[in-house]
Amino acid sequence: MNDTDFRKLKDEVTAYVNGRLREWSERIEETGECGPDVWQELRERGYLRLAAPTEYGGYGLSFTQYLQLLELFSQSHGSIRMIVHVMNGIWRPIDFLANEEQRERFVKPIVRGEITAAFALTEPDAGSGADIKTSARKEGDEFVLNGEKWLITFGDTADYLMLYARMEGTKGYEGTLALLVPRKAEGVQINVMPPTLGLTGTGHAHIVLKDARVPADHLLGEVGQGLAGALNGFLDPSRVCVGMTCVGLAQRAFDLAVERSRERVTFGKPLSQRQVVQTWIAEMATDIEAARQLVLYAGRLKDEGALTPPPASMAKLYALEMLQRVTDKAQQIWGGIGYFKGYEIERIYRDARAQKFEEGTAEIQKAVIAKHILAGE
């Protein structure tokens, strides 16, 4: 998208975030639900196909353009930013392995919003990598799956599960495969998980597979390519995106903190005139901008086709730890009332904890970074 059109779109999203989405955010917190009308409005406005190519029905934004809009959406409610983030990215791992027939049958309809998919990798007794245990075996023109997945965002409502398993008797990356599993397929049991601390209204599923049967033509790529598709097609760009969601949420916490520091008077002085608060504000502003620039650097690498795991993990690691520092200081500026429900800063404080788990913990990011440095890459 050219610069002029992008500026118009960015202004439109800014107004939407500061208007309509503030109303949605209050309703979601009051009701505990992020209803289908929210999804429908985001879809109708085209905000769930921003990052996809125009030939797929998307807006064709560059990755760095998309990141700038994602920062804005992340200044709204946690569930709303989750919808925008996941739906703008889930087509990538599918497209990474899909053949042309599957691209027409699955990828383009997902971009257009005609069907939905959820990313199903994490398991109760395994992490999100080569230790997955969900097994598959081939019987005729079907794969038969057994195992469990949990913490699957939107797994309770998605039409398909972008699910990763391994052929029976294999280990490591060997034998891993990616399948698009219909949520209502025989042998698929969907259990809705308890509500989360934050991200009110976002549904998560615990999926139990008992001899679940999936047509063989739902296999994406080849057996043995599953985890490579998950990591290269999804996790690296998604880690960069999560980094930007941290920037957006931190920016909102910062703005609320600055506003509060001017309003709140103690011992005859606004907090904004206290040196310690000024120090916090300076530290917060610097922290946010440093994270923003690191994320955008990784975004530019993605646009150039040069994104590798280390800069993706660095962006996510620094941004998520920055978010914890900023939200902690922001709530401190608000004081005790900022701990009470009904105040946006309290919700932000809860929502901020979620990013520490999304697309790998800080410890995972450090392991990725160190592995590549020590390998001389």
Alpha-carbon separation of residue 107 from 55, 114, 176, 263 (angstroms): 11, 10, 21, 50
In whole angstroms, give the CA distance from residue 152 to residue 120.
6
| CB distance 57 to 67 below 8 Å | no
Coil, helix or strand at residue 374: helix
* Measured distance between the N- and C-terminal CA atoms of the chain, rounded to whole angstroms: 33
Q: How many helices (H) and strands (E) does the chain have?
A: 14, 10
Coil, helix or strand at residue 356: helix
Q: Which residues are catalytic?
A: 359
* CA-CA-CA-CA torsion sign (183, 185, 188, 192): positive
Angle at 284 between CA 342 and CA 64, to 5 degrees: 95
* CA-CA-CA-CA torsion sign (71, 77, 78, 84): negative
In whole angstroms, give the CA distance from residue 307 to residue 305.
6
**Which backbone phi and psi does 49 adopt, to 5 degrees?**
-135, 30
Angle at 203 between CA 202 and CA 206, to 5 degrees: 145
> Shortest CA distance to 261 belongs to which of 244, 275, 245, 247?
275
In whole angstroms, give the CA distance from residue 46 to residue 27.
22
| CB distance 315 to 322 below 8 Å | no
> Shortest CA distance to 16 belongs to which of 75, 96, 89?
75
Q: Which helix (H) or strand (E) holds 228?
A: helix 226-230
